[in-house]
Chains A and B, each alone.
Chain A
Amino acid sequence: MLEIKNLKAVVENKEILKGLTLSIKPGEIHAIMGPNGSGKSTLSNILSGKKGYEISGEIQFENSNLLDLEIEERAHKGIFLAFQYPIEIPGVNTNNFLKTSLNSIRKARGQKELDAIEFLKLIKEKATQLNFDQKILSRQLNVGFSGGEKKKNEILQMSILDPKLAILDETDSGLDIDALKIVSEGVNKLKNGKNSFLIITHYQRLLNYIKPDYVHVLKDGKIIRTGNFDLAIELEKKGYQSL
């Protein structure tokens, strides 16, 4: 599904990614762990199409050259990034945003756009699943949301947009145990054996709830080790310095 080969990224003359190679197959869950400044967020930004990087290397997503696609085209193809810091957008109603987003993607995929009633039904179903208070959705996007509400809102978007590859960028940071459970249950419910997940995190904690097939360690712009869940446990005990 996703093939990254020798990916290098430079921002403001500083090389952040220094030849990263990663392959994700349909249905797999991959976790990337690593210390601060290792390039984890840069990787998720580049996958979602954020501007401002000088990039070399290759990224194939299904049958497309991902680097040729605009930000919104990547979303149309099925890439979803759950942001580490979801941005507050005053004046934009959350429900209206969700509907615009969903229908933009449906339209690009040649599917029928949902009308207001169909959309509300879907939203209600997904919000209930995630134990997400629907009242929040009539507020302005992320404005005045607590840290947990922002992250839950990301997971709600993910479950509505039903991506092929979901990238979770430190979704666990700033979450209490209850919110962490809700977020991971959201991810687990979404798993269908065909879609894939790339989970970026500092801690093993989230991986107790979402069991990864592979754990990679990103350090200084490269993947230096790959293993299974045991690697995450080892890292939690010994820290990144030991590597």
Chain B
Amino acid sequence: MLTNLESNFEELIKKQNIQNFDIRKKLLKKFIKEGFPDKNTEDWKFSDFNKIINLKFPNLNINFGLDKKKLLIKNQILNNFEHNKIILANGELIEIDLSFENKDEVQIAQFDKRNDFQINKNTLLDLNEALSLKYLDIKISNNYKFKKPLVIYHLRNESLNSKIINLNINFTLGENSSLCLVNNFNDDNESNFINLKYNFELSKDSNLKNYLVDGQNNNNARYLFININQKNNSNSENFIFSKGSNFFKTEIFSNLYGEYSSSFINGIIYLENEKHHEIKTNINHLSANTKSYQLIKNVLKDKSRGIYQGKIFVDQIAQKTDGYQLSKTLLLDKSTEFNGKPELEIYADDVKCSHGSTSGNLDEEAIYYLMSRGISYDQSKKLLIDGFLLEVLNKITDENIKKYLTNLIN
């Protein structure tokens, strides 16, 4: 498959006018040489992606563009709350709707050329940079606060199959600005690999809420790489709802460069039917008085597998760091597996850092109690699972999104 990619790429070049051709080709060759990460790569030890791709997505090739006729957008749009929209299909920009905002304060641009390519340790980023033909760049002016959430709809052509789809978005939040972003991953197509790279630059005093929603059952593999660079007193709140995709790995780097910056990463991995999802976080406390908090809850059934690798790094200058992470897992049957790898790497001496992890199955005594009140076994289980997830849903600070996600789960 990998060798096909190169000839595939040549074909793409003939069809489209591609910028940064040489560096792209170099990155692609590097990717082809190194391949998809496998379990020998430390960061992928619980998710042998190479094996998963070969087993479930053996015929991947490059996506040649979008047939807009086959797009069904209307029934995908959320009507739960008022919001701005960016609609992407197969990684291409289809529509921008910022009706609730002052358009002078938000700049959205699409580029096909850039000069900041880099060689990555992560081969999937090489692949992303080689094949993302367009980049979305979203800038929010100083002191501008979004009035309504911005929902990015990630749609695909219905007929799309076995394609590699790449997307690369850069966000810059100006000083004292704020954005509530919802990423809605809706796919009803099959067997594609969707490779997403987000970068956020948070200026001082800015506030990002970043909600990732993979709620709809689909047979795609997805890798989402998020890098967040944070200046003084900026705050990022991330929530990952990881459920629908066949495979989904979300990897977040949160770099707390500025004093009093803080990062929150909360999430739910809720799986059945042999799905395999991972959340990997890297919080880098690089300045004094920074704070991070992570709570991940997993509910696994029917041969599914969940993974949470959470790393907290504290630089020697990052005194008074407050870092916390906890994961709790419900294994609903014996066929499921959860792997947790908490990691603390601390070089400062005046810090408060802790981690914890629990896993178990549903409390039989609680089920008995509920059933003795006339509630069926299935409904008792559901009440307990919903109850288990409530704690982490309550971490969502946007009330509309909390309601939307709670309904999605119930």
Interface residues of A (CB under 8 A from B): 48-51, 70-72, 74-76, 80-81, 83, 86-87, 89-92, 97, 100-102, 104-105, 108, 140, 157, 161
Q: Which residues of B contact A51 (CB under 8 A)?
A: 368
Q: Which residues of A contact B391 (CB under 8 A)?
A: 90-91
CB atoms of A91 and B388 under 8 A apart? yes
Q: Does B334 make an interface contact (CB < 8 A)?
A: no
Shortest Cβ distance from B406 into chain A, in angstroms?
Answer: 12
CB atoms of B384 and A157 under 8 A apart? no
CB atoms of B387 and A72 under 8 A apart? no
Q: Can you give 27 A-B contacts (C-beta < 8 A)?
A: A48-B372, A70-B371, A71-B371, A71-B372, A72-B371, A72-B373, A76-B374, A81-B372, A83-B369, A86-B369, A87-B363, A87-B366, A87-B369, A89-B363, A90-B388, A90-B390, A90-B391, A91-B384, A91-B386, A91-B388, A91-B391, A92-B387, A97-B383, A101-B373, A104-B373, A104-B374, A161-B373
Residue of A nearest to B382 (CB): A100
Q: Which residues of B contact A90 (CB under 8 A)?
A: 387-388, 390-391
Residue of A nearest to B380 (CB): A72
Interface string of B360-378 (1 = CB under 8 A from A): 0001011011111111110
Size of B's binding interface in residues, CB under 8 A: 22
Q: How far is the CA of A71 from the CA of B389 in the complex (A)?
A: 26
Q: How far is the CA of A123 from the CA of B368 in the complex (A)?
A: 23
Q: How far is the CA of A50 from the CA of B365 in the complex (A)?
A: 9
CB atoms of A91 and B375 under 8 A apart? no
CB atoms of A140 and B379 under 8 A apart? no
By Cβ-Cβ distance, the 3 closest A-B pairs, closest first, are: A91-B387, A75-B374, A101-B373
Q: Which residues of A contact B387 (CB under 8 A)?
A: 89-92, 140
The prevalent SS among residues of B at the interface is helix
Residue of B nearest to A71 (CB): B371
Known contacts A87-B369, A97-B370, A72 near B375 by CB under 8 Å: yes
Q: Which residues of A contact B369 (CB under 8 A)?
A: 83, 86-87, 89
Residue of B nearest to A83 (CB): B369
Interface residues of B (CB under 8 A from A): 363, 365-366, 368-377, 379, 383-384, 386-391
CB atoms of A161 and B374 under 8 A apart? yes
Residue of B nearest to A108 (CB): B374
CB atoms of A87 and B373 under 8 A apart? no
CB atoms of B375 and A100 under 8 A apart? yes
Additional 18 contacts, C-beta under 8 A, given A75-B372, A100-B375, A105-B374: A51-B368, A70-B371, A70-B377, A72-B371, A72-B373, A72-B374, A74-B372, A75-B374, A83-B369, A87-B366, A90-B390, A91-B384, A91-B389, A92-B386, A97-B373, A97-B383, A101-B375, A157-B373
Q: How far is the CA of A209 from the CA of B35 in the complex (A)?
A: 78
Q: How far is the CA of A97 from the CA of B390 in the complex (A)?
A: 14
Shortest Cβ distance from B179 into chain A, in angstroms?
Answer: 30
Q: Which residues of B contact A75 (CB under 8 A)?
A: 371-374
CB atoms of B368 and A50 under 8 A apart? yes
Shortest Cβ distance from B92 into chain A, in angstroms?
Answer: 41
Known contacts A48-B372, A97-B370, A72 near B384 by CB under 8 Å: no
CB atoms of A91 and B390 under 8 A apart? yes
Q: How far is the CA of A206 from the CA of B379 in the complex (A)?
A: 35
Q: How far is the CA of A83 from the CA of B373 in the complex (A)?
A: 11
Shortest Cβ distance from B388 into chain A, in angstroms?
Answer: 6
